[in-house]
Amino acid sequence: MNKKIINYRAFINACHHYFAKSPRLVRIFVLIRNQCYPIISYYLANSSDFFKNGESLMIDFLAKECVIVVDVGANKGMWTEYFLNKNSFIQIFLFEPSINAFSVLKTKFNTTNNVTLINKGLADKKSQNIFFEEPECGETSSLVPGVSNNHSKQIHVELTTVDLIMEEYGLTKIDYLKIDVEGYDLFVLKGAEENLKSKKIKFVQFEYNSSWTMAGSTLIQAFMLFGKYGYKTFLLRWDGLYEFNYALYGEYYSYSNFFALPEESVAIIKPLIKGTI
């Protein structure tokens, strides 16, 4: 290793030890660190707006490639509505455990024959669990304790898995699996492992945010799961897809969307790949 690099690292390490001796300096560095996280977050994903964060871009580009679509955490169905506008011939399955949101979905899609509504949550195994439901179809309703606002109420909901619903509904494939479940996303992915392993799920979009901390989940676990089954994972931004430098950013626990697909299918989305971030 270059001697200059060794000396530089030794100097930096000595500075770290020196600064660590001062409680006041440590507190200042903590405050600086806390301000750095939002800056990193806004750089990686500058908006949660569907039309500004790349979600609509992916649908615009891939809708015609899809026949079977699964929307996990459908809420009031905006994502599904947009997808149907781009391809009205898809068969789409909506999963929503919230009583209020499910009622909205039934009203909205009651005459849409190619939409199947399922009042359940998805997880890594079939079970029952407590769901924290916010009033007025709050978008941070969650299976993860502590994520939802103080006005949420606890309801008991049924949970199943992607693998089980594919078997139950006779699905031989899923073309687009979208997951937005406020911190429970990794559990949903674990419940799809059999079909990820056999590459029967083509495109996967999942949300990553601060609620992953309370769920005990990490981004690297998701990356490793996809890597295990030969999938390539990208960060989704407003202008396209980026290879994500995890070694640089690590677990930043702020709102972002990620997109994964089998490595052999990457050519399909090549026009959307903008480089490495």
CA 180 – CA 229 distance, rounded (Å): 21
- Tell me, what's the pLDDT at 3? 66
Q: What is the pLDDT of residue 9?
A: 86
* Predicted local confidence at residue 6, as pLDDT: 66
CA distance 141 to 75: 9
Taking the CA atoms of residue 92, residue 97, residue 101 and residue 104 in that order, the dihedral angle to the nearest 10 degrees is 50
Please, what are the averages of pLDDT over each run of 10 residues along the chain (277 residues)?
73 91 94 90 92 97 98 98 98 98 97 97 98 95 94 96 98 98 98 98 97 97 98 98 97 95 98 97
Q: What is the pLDDT of residue 2?
A: 66
